[in-house]
Amino acid sequence: MNVLVINAGSSSLKYQLMNPETGDVSAKGLCERIYIDGRLTHKVGDKKVEKEIAMPSHSEAIQAVLSILVDPVDGVIKSVDEIDAVGHRVLHGGMEFSESCIINDDVIKAIKKCIPLGPLHNPANLMGIEACQAVMPNTPQVAVFDTAFHMTMPPKAYRYAIPAEYYENDDIRRYGFHGTSHKYIARRAAALIGKTEFKMINCHLGNGSSLSAVKNGKCMDTSMGLSPLAGVPMGTRSGDIDACVVQFICNKYNMSVDDCLNMLNKKSGVLALSGVSSDFRDLEAGAANGNQDCVLALEKFYYEVAKYIGAYTAALNGIDVLTFTAGVGENGRDTRKAICEYLGFMGVKIDEEKNMVRGKEILISTPDSKVQVWVIPTNEELMIAQDTAELVNAAK
């Protein structure tokens, strides 16, 4: 089976053509500068092709992707009919979606209803869906939501302690993000340890970071909230912050709430603390050269992640497995070591040699550690392709 996985942004569109059973990717690429001029980067194995193609809308971008996939020289399939289904990443499923689903008119309406919750991403995701429907009207399309995995949280985890009317009238609550990644890691962890009933915390640490507390494969709590701004400090996001900071800054600097939120999303996090970079490699290099601001940025990050792990361990009444994934979680040896050092009190012990790994699936805890600690590279595209295949096969 061939599934085309699409992640449409406002001016870009990422794609992968993959086999959901084996995870083999036959081709992948990126359309950029949609609505401006248009550039396609297409990769098959090690071969990379770059083309300037006019992309006045997402529709031309999808057409460019389909054309190159069937191209006699750079393509990997003979006809578009060889694409059995399309899986779309959709950011916000609000309270409408607790799982992936086959796209029909009602689903489109419900995704539109979630636009106020995901004002930047949902319209772009919809453009990707509508463009695919226009050029491949007979191919089933599936929506996979970044929020869906977290919909099993109990009310005590997802409700904010604010007047009920904002929840009842406006759907204001914790949703959480990176759900496709958290779901993939929860499934991989279950396969790796050979159990379905266990308690785990997954640390998705990348440019954006979130943690989730998972019991028997179901999400019980997660660190991001109504938006991806909440939780631990990130590359450029502040993470959790007292709402009065917004009031203070807006009043003192005559700043709009939107501008203040832009600052908290794009100019904060480890970038702001270090004054150097949002990239952990730069922070580690800075700290190694004695830059104390880089040291503080890293220490703050380790401390806040460890605090969430402590909180979720209490929430789950103990854990069996701790997993690290995404750019920093998969590659950041110093980060994993520093976080695990905080967790000695709960019997976490890692093998320093095994922890030297980058980007590979491996158990890094010692045999006598009370908690298994794993590094598991995430694969959101594979999760999207698998959900898509499952739904399309079930509907046959």
Instruction: Provide the binding-site residues for ligand AMP, judged by CB under 6 A.
Output: 206-207, 235, 279-281, 326-328, 331-332, 358
Q: By C-beta, is 231 or 235 nearer to ligand AMP?
A: 235
Residue among 146, 171, 242, 279 flagged as catalytic: 146
- CA atoms of 327 and 96, how far apart (whole Å): 30
Residue 189 and residue 371 in contact, taking contact as beta carbons nearer than 8 Å: no
Q: Give the contacts of 196 (CB within 8 A, at least 6 positions apart).
A: 190, 216, 217
Question: Nearest approach, Cβ of 178 to ligand AMP (angstroms)?
Answer: 9
CA dihedral sign, ordered 279, 280, 286, 289: negative
CA separation (Å) from 367 to 98, 185, 199, 341, 348? Answer: 37, 21, 18, 17, 10
Which among 99, 90, 95 is positioned nearest to 171, based on CA atoms?
Answer: 95
In the bound state with ligand AMP, the residue whose beta carbon lies nearer, of 280 and 324, is: 280
At closest approach, how far in Å is the CB of 88 from ligand AMP? 20
- Least Å distance, CB 238 to ligand AMP, is 16
Q: Please, which residue, 195 or 358, has the CB nearer to ligand AMP?
A: 358
322 vs 340: CA distance, rounded Å: 10
Whether residue 146 lies in the annotated active site: yes
Least distance to ligand AMP, CB of residue 307, Å: 20
Strands 321-325 and 362-363: unpaired
Token pair 């917004």 in the structure block, residue: 246
Distance between alpha carbon 366 and the CA centroid of its chain, in Å? 29
CB of 9 to ligand AMP, least distance (A): 14
Cα 363 to Cα 365: distance, rounded to the nearest angstrom: 6
Q: Which residue lies nearer to ligand AMP by CB, 380 or 387?
A: 380
Residue length of the chain: 396
Shortest distance, CB of residue 84 to ligand AMP, whole angstroms? Answer: 29
For 171-268, where are the alpha helices, taking DSSP H only?
Answer: 179-193, 243-253, 257-266
Return the number of the residue (78 or 358) whose C-beta is nearest ligand AMP: 358
Closest listed residue to residue 171, CA positions, set 188, 189, 158, 156: 158
Check: CB of residue 131 under 8 Å from CB of residue 162: no
Sequence-distant (6+) residues with CB within 8 A of 45 are: none
Which is nearer to ligand AMP, 87 or 327 (by Cβ)? 327
User: Pairing relation of β-strands 25-32 and 39-44?
Assistant: antiparallel
Residue 32 vs 279, nearer CB to ligand AMP: 279
DSSP codes joined into one string, 289-331: TT-HHHHHHHHHHHHHHHHHHHHHHHHHTS-SEEEEEHHHHHH
Residue with smallest beta-carbon separation from ligand AMP: 327
Least distance between ligand AMP and beta carbon 270 (Å): 9
Residues with active-site annotation = 146
